[in-house]
Amino acid sequence: MVPSGPKRFHGIYTATICPMAASGAIDEAALAAHLVHAVGADGIVGVLINGHAGENFLLTRAEKKRVVEIARAEIGDRAILVCGINAESSLAAADHARDAEAAGADVLLVFPPFSWTLSQDATMALNHHRHVAAASKLPLMLYQAGVGTHEMAYNEATLSALVRLPNVVGIKEGSWETARYEANRRLVQRIAPHVAVMASGDEHLLTCMALGSEGSLVSLAVLVPDLIVALDRAIAASDLATARRINDRIYPLATAIYGMAPGVLANARLKACLKLLGRLDSALVRPPVGPLSADEIARLEAALLAAGLQPVEKPRGCSIAPSLPASSGALP
């Protein structure tokens, strides 16, 4: 559900995870409950489903559509549904866009294919986004990848071309470097001021929001939505002292999940935290991500406590290792 007005896409969105059953299939009941919780905090305007946190790179086309259907049924009447489109092929991305619109998404967020880490140019990026735009009438958001992702991170020429495309309404800005964030924000404000630049680097929210932001699409909001919203409001009120106090609670959790190598374990860490908090029965993720070590779990527990969250006692004999059994036969 998209409100009216020029700032209708502004605000804080929760980038959700995708719970998995022991069989490797999506746990639809757990997903429905997770989505309801994801928009339960005051100030959360919507969700990003089928994002990286939602394991979009490991879901089938049918599964991605099903995630949107469940989100529409559970929260579509009170939240903006942003659906991630992540496919190596532009033709496949167009198919996924059609599916998302048919299933009830409100906005499409187009991720750069992982293969672009090696090489891409403005022509490729434009062609990819034009295929998606031609397949759906929904508004588009862009994804600005981190500076460490090489060619996946759009340079000035490519970003300039993309923000001028029709129907582009926002950018999930995840440069993961504040200098690049500021340069990109200034660029977009100069050539496409109607496009919302949304600070979405979980470790750098305070700095980026202080530089200016129209919102955020962050997976950290599955754990501390109230803190993310409070930080945004404190910055908007020019209350830096309060913003710093809030950031002191957010920062240890952000670094424990996103700042530790390898970064690919961020999804597993999020699920482990949700399980530690009693919000998720299973922390399973799909292969090839392996189980978290005992040291990693201990670090996450400490970070949750630093954020003011109290882990529940783990049931005896219950592992929170987030890997699927090798014999599950689940297909990505």
The domain of 158 spans 11-243
Residue 25 lies inside a defined structural domain of this protein? yes
Residue 251 lies inside a defined structural domain of this protein? no
Residue 284 lies inside a defined structural domain of this protein? no
Residue 109 lies inside a defined structural domain of this protein? yes
Please give the tally of structural domains in the chain: 1
Nearest to 189 by CA among 151, 152, 163: 163
**pTM recorded for the entire structure:** 0.93
How far are the Cα atoms of 59, 120, 205, 263 from residue 306, in angstroms, in the given order? Answer: 33, 41, 17, 21
Residue 180 lies inside a defined structural domain of this protein? yes
Q: Which residue has better confidence, 289 or 323? A: 289
Let me know: does 243 contact 231? Beta carbons within 8 Å: yes
CATH number at residue 84: 3.20.20.70
- Kindly write down the DSSP assignment for every residue of 201-257, as one continuous string: -GGGHHHHHHH--SEEEEGGGGT-HHHHHHHHHHHHTT-HHHHHHHHHHHHHHHHHH
Residue 274 lies inside a defined structural domain of this protein? no
Residue 264 lies inside a defined structural domain of this protein? no
* pLDDT tens, residue by residue, 206-220: 999 999 999 999 999
Residue 235 lies inside a defined structural domain of this protein? yes
| Confidence check: pLDDT of 331 > 70 | no
* pLDDT tens, residue by residue, 306-316: 999 999 955 43
Helices marked H in the chain — which ranges?
28-38, 61-75, 90-103, 122-135, 156-163, 178-191, 205-211, 225-236, 240-258, 266-276, 294-306
